[in-house]
Amino acid sequence: MSLPLNTCAALITKHFQLPDEELEHCQSSEKELEQALSAIINNLLNQDLARLMNAFYKIDLNEIVFKRIITSEAPDQIGLALAKEVIKREWQKVKTRERHRSN
């Protein structure tokens, strides 16, 4: 896993309160991370919405983006669409931290 992808996965693990090894199998690509996170999000949508919303709050996922996805995506695509947005937001954080670290 590349360092930025590893860092992104670590942030997701922290924000979703996942066991450290939960996303370890997603070591080769962002696509694998999307798929794994999509399954986690779908599970939380059905089992623990409060935990999911807490994670989105910590990640600072835009509420407008969340509402758009929930209302416009096909039900079987909601988890994947949310996973893509979460990863995009976490990538932004990783890049910002790297930029500040190098200054």
Q: What is the pLDDT of residues 19-69, one digit of tens each?
A: 988 998 876 789 999 999 999 999 999 999 999 999 999 999 999 999 999
CB neighbourhood size of 17 (10 A): 11
- pLDDT in the model for residue 103: 65
Please report, for the chain, the start and end positions of each structural domain, with discontinuous segments joined by +: 3-101
- Hey, CA dihedral for 45, 47, 12, 31, is it positive or negative? negative
Structure tokens at 47: 């089992």
* Residues with Cβ within 8 Å of residue 51, at least 6 apart in sequence: 16, 17, 44
> Is the distance from CB of 43 to CB of 78 less than 8 angstroms?
no
1 pLDDT tier (thresholds 50, 70, 90): very low
What pLDDT does 27 receive? 63
pLDDT value of position 3: 64
